[in-house]
Amino acid sequence: MPEAISKPLITTIIPTYRRPKLLRRAIRSVLAQTYPHFQVCVYDNASRDETPSVVDEMARTDCRIKYYCHPENIGGLKNFIYGMEGVETPFFSMFSDDDVLLPDFYQTALAGFEKYPEAMLSVLVTIQTDDRGRVLGAPVRKWPPGLNRPPEGLLAMLRYGHPEWTSVLFRREVLEMVGGLDEETGGPADLDFELRAAARFPLVVTLQPGAIFVGHRGSDSNAAGFDWVWPGWLKMVRNLTEDERIPDEVRTLAGRVLTNRLKKRLFVNAGFGSLAQRNWPDALRAADVLSHHYRQNFRARLLRIATGVCRHLPLAYYLLRVSFTLRRSLRRLKSKQLPKEYTTFIPQLKL
């Protein structure tokens, strides 16, 4: 252990804000790793609660825990950026304070690097859950295992869904050659970072769960309104399509797939999702973007009509809320097709 403490090979970045109980669980999941050579760097966004005492208590018994508190709240994305700028170890990982690493994550991820030294990212399966511990998804389980050379990793993300970075171990060189998070992308900054990395570098995939990603109510990861979608998604599309280091045919495909998803998110999440929250202005903003930027006049007209109807007819608004509830129920029903073994990891969420 002394060598592990003096020479950390992995930096674990955990931004946090006013969730001391969840933060304790997150740190505990790192300390439980079977691979001991790491340091845990907690970046407190000026919580001004018991967060410092929680970290201090844990740091007294394990000096691998580091703590920094910002003088003021700089926002979740900037907090991640700040943490990434301080990485000096050969490897790093990032996850939110409401997520959990599984005990063998680092050991398994490093085994992937050892088998494929050319890989720049080592990707494991992330078990996606809601804040009640119900399993919702695990997109990486459909990926081809082993080494994915460019553009295979990027294409897998477009086809099967991107891995939550909660269960991705990165080489520091990714930061040096791709750059960090693009603040202009906003909400999908993590997806943008992964897409840019996968477009240029090999990654290794291991079909073993490495972490639990929690869609916690009130977290940034659960937000998908207008400001989360626009214009961040547009900037993300441009980051790929305007990168001349990526082959033309790959840029064209990525641009088409991501643009179609952007239109859908504007219509469903930013549009009708805003209506479900009685956020009439954002629903109309989504309609304006669909009509003016993408000439999606039918969808835009439908959104405007739905906004007017829901504002003046309570029954219509109620039916809209019911439809979103059914949508969530169908998602949970679909999750029952996931391997039952994933549910055995849920006790790791215990506080």
- The mean pLDDT of the chain is 92
State yes or no: pLDDT of 139 exceeds 90: no
Q: Where are the beta strands (DSSP E) in the chain?
A: 10-16, 38-44, 65-69, 91-94, 100-101, 121-130, 135-137, 146-148, 168-171, 203-215
Cβ atoms of 167 and 99 closer than 8 Å: no
- How many whole angstroms separate alpha carbon 69 and alpha carbon 73? 9
Element containing residue 8 per DSSP (H, E) = none
Task: DSSP letter for 269, please.
Answer: I
Residues in the chain: 351
**Segment 229-255, tens digit of pLDDT:** 999 999 999 999 999 999 999 999 999
**Segment 160-215, tens digit of pLDDT:** 989 999 999 999 999 999 999 999 999 999 999 999 999 999 999 999 999 999 98
**Segment 18-73, tens digit of pLDDT:** 999 999 999 999 999 999 999 999 999 999 999 999 999 999 999 999 999 999 99
Residue ranges and CATH numbers for the domains of the chain are 8-222 (3.90.550.10), 226-312 (no CATH)
